[in-house]
Amino acid sequence: MADENRPLVIILGFHQTFERLPVKGDEMHDDIDERGFKLDAKGKRVMENVAVDWATYAPAHSPMGANTTERIRHLKPTQEIIDGENAEKTRFMLARWSAIEPAYEAWKKGHELPINGTPLAHWPGVSAAMAGELRKYNVLTVENVRDLAETQLERIRLPNMRELRNSARAFLDNMRNAEAAEREVERDNEVANLRLMLEEQNEKLAAAMALLEEKTNPTASVPENDIEALRAKLDAKGVKYHHKAGVETLRALLQEAA
């Protein structure tokens, strides 16, 4: 089963070309043609040399399908498109751009393209040669292998592709189970830490109460054997108490434990 948050497209790469394009004019200060391009004194479009970035991608649901190469400026949703009435087209363009933009920004900075999913290199189920063969078909992640359709399996020139698909599914399931178990351990640790903090706070509160009792009811007036007797009873019941707790605090704890 495919992940619900699977990106709309798989990024295959970017490249840059250089073109001579017309310059957009300012209708308030420039002579422009009917399409808004700036005109020179002879009425010809003003041209300039610009760098043009391109993206090549394939649909995530069918990575072995036809690749598409488009100019970045045509892929990025404009404010006019976002504000337009074609909601379905807007959602599609925003979803597609959300998959392309992070990879595009990484490419511009010279970084390795991020991969949406678990890279084949992280999966012991394939060798380097097998991973290289899968990449020829735009199968870049373990999730891509898991989601291959029957017709796609037959096109890949690797043995036992159905078994490989089942292995990919089992690997991802085990990985999710391991992550869930790790999160459970983290929650248990958080609960244990909270309990420890609560015990420390209780000890501090008990110490404060004992100090207050010593100031209001000095234990000097209470026979030592009475305090020791109370402590012995609390010890017998397994009740914790602060070592400076006065007789009233000890009696209160003993009553609570009764």
117 φ/ψ angles, rounded to the nearest 5 degrees: 130, -165
Helix (H, G, I), strand (E, B) or coil at 109: coil
Place of tokens 């041209």: 47
pLDDT digits (tens, 9 = 90+) for 193-220: 998 888 888 888 888 877 776 666 554 4
Instruction: Determine the residue type at 133.
Output: E
Average pLDDT, stretch 158-178?
93
Q: Which residues pair with 57 in a beta bridge?
A: 11, 68
Look at the pTM and tell me if it is higher than 0.75: no
Residue partners of 169: CB distance under 8 A and separation at least 6: 146
Cα–Cα distance for residue pair 136/36, rounded to 1 Å:
43
The alpha carbon of 217 is separated from its chain's Cα centroid by a whole number of angstroms, namely: 59
In the 8-state DSSP scheme, what is residue 34?
Answer: T
Give the per-residue pLDDT at 71: 95
38-80 pLDDT tens trace: 998 888 999 999 999 999 998 887 777 678 999 999 999 888 7
| 67 alpha carbon, distance to own chain's centre | 27
